[in-house]
Amino acid sequence: MDRTTGRTFARGATRFAPSPTGELHLGNARTALFNFLLARRGAERFVLRIEDTDASRSRSEHTVGLLHDLHWLGLQWDAGPGREDGLGPYYQSQRAALYAQRFVELERQGAVYPCFCSAVELEVARHAQRAAGRAPRYPGTCRDLSADERRRRLGAGQPATLRFRVPAGQHIEFTDLVHGAQRFLSDDIGDFVIRRADGSAAFFFSNALDDAAMGVTQVLRGEDHLTNTPRQLLILEALGLPAPRYGHISLILGPDGAPLSKRHGAASVREFRERGYRPEAVVNYLFRLGHSSSAHDLLGLQALADAFDPQHLGRAPAHFDEQQLTVWQKHAVHRLAPEAARDWLAPQLPNGLDPHTATAFCAAVLPNVVLPEDARAWVDIVFGPAPVLAGEGADLVREAGSEFFAAAARAAADGGDFAVIAAAARLASGRKGAQLFRPLRFALTGLGHGPELAPLLRVMPPGETERRLARFA
């Protein structure tokens, strides 16, 4: 039973809890994916919570972007923005009243106290501790102020944060889903802020409280939060709330070993989407980034969930490699159904192309396309002017000779498909294999490589095949 709501949760839940302070980057997308898969694997709920208590850094356009990116990746949440289930609201900025109740509860217990230290005073204390070779932690300046003194300062309007009084001499232990047994000493943790001076809840507090209030039972999150966990466990314990099981996943590093960021090129989901990456490719790649799996195929989300195992999450940092993403992209593109391929390549297609030809064209060039821009050259080749030959192409066409092309052009004029055209050229010249096909390919496309010719010719404008062949007859 959950003590915050008095409600018993029939099912466990995982969650993704982004702060809308920037675009969804690949690291966070992977965190969202892993939580989504963990939920689907265990038939649990996947909760999306927007952590926007820091008004100065949160932007609504980032929230809009996050929701859009998650939709695009297919990571549909069971509860969250736009999907209320009675445990929301799912924007932390709308939960201030719930936090306020809990602050009062902690104040009554004496588990917290107001801290009047200014940013400068805190910085001076940290500096002195570092200079003395000690790890910086709050020195406890306001911990034992008298009740009168507190009242006086508060009455005088002195700004105050609310600090959690960390109990002395305790061991805080938990088993991390990735890192195993963890043990922290409370004496190493300074009293920490749970309410900012402007009255808003600080991360440690709202994040832990909401997990409990929303029935979250398992949390996969970035390794940078591992040392926050003991603080959050202390808060939950003080409030008598259940703690989720935490798993802290490794960072994603760029090829140079630094955490993946803008300077490595594209790092946000939006950028990959705009470059034409398929969502199936992105999730399949992220699934293998820091998670070992014997599943080597391109899998749908439910199959990924079935294959997901938190025990296979690595402790070592994962290295982002765009070439690997490209491999998954190829798998994803080659599996596209004809209409889906047409929709994907639509921005590259000439205006006014009829849907039937557009679909057939996309199906024809798909084996040679990784990103949509790769289709552009084939649009020009098929629908643009006849390619001018030079170099190897010109030589091969000349060697094949005019009778070869006259026969081929005649077959095309009679409406023959590529097999008929090739048969006619073969009969006229006695050529076969590469000797037969390469001159034809060069004459028709200007290139010595490319997609299969038969489907390509079927979408060329009427008469174009004959015209291109007849040039060399």
444 contacts: CB under 8 Å, gap ≥ 6: 453, 456, 457, 465, 468, 469
Q: How far is the CB of 222 from ligand GLU (least distance, A)?
A: 6
Nearer residue to ligand GLU within complex by CB, 19 or 218? 19
First to last CA, the chain: 85
Q: How far is the CB of 12 from ligand GLU (least distance, A)?
A: 16
Q: Return the H-helix or E-strand segment holding 439.
A: helix 433-445
Residue 443, both tokens: 């004459």
Contact predicate 405/374, CB 8 Å:
no
Q: How far is the CB of 14 from ligand GLU (least distance, A)?
A: 10
Nearer residue to ligand GLU within complex by CB, 17 or 365? 17
Contact predicate 308/283, CB 8 Å:
no
Q: How far is the CB of 291 from ligand GLU (least distance, A)?
A: 17
- Closest among 180, 170, 176, 162 to 228, alpha carbons compared: 176
Q: How far is the CB of 18 from ligand GLU (least distance, A)?
A: 5
Nearer residue to ligand GLU within complex by CB, 206 or 445? 206
Q: Buried (b) or exposed (e) across 272-308, using 16+ Cβ within 10 A? A: bbeebbbbbbbbbbbbebbbeeeeeebbebeebbebb
Amino acid identity of residue 276, one-letter, is: G
Nearer residue to ligand GLU within complex by CB, 19 or 161? 19
Give the angle subtended at the CA of 58 by the CAs of 53 and 64, to the nearest 5°.
115
Q: How far apart are CA 183 and CA 174, in angstroms?
A: 7
Give me the DSSP letters along 210-251.
HHHHTT--EEEEEGGGGGGHHHHHHHHHHHT-PPPEEEEEPP
Nearest residue relative to ligand GLU (C-beta):
221
Nearer residue to ligand GLU within complex by CB, 207 or 445? 207
Nearer residue to ligand GLU within complex by CB, 150 or 270? 270
Q: How far is the CB of 207 from ligand GLU (least distance, A)?
A: 5
Binding site for ligand GLU (CB under 6 A): 17-19, 51, 207, 221, 225
Nearer residue to ligand GLU within complex by CB, 232 or 465? 232
Q: How far is the CB of 155 from ligand GLU (least distance, A)?
A: 35
Nearer residue to ligand GLU within complex by CB, 17 or 469? 17
Q: How far apart are CA 308 and CA 177, in angstroms?
A: 13
Q: How far is the CB of 242 from ligand GLU (least distance, A)?
A: 16
Residues facing 248 on adjacent strands: 221
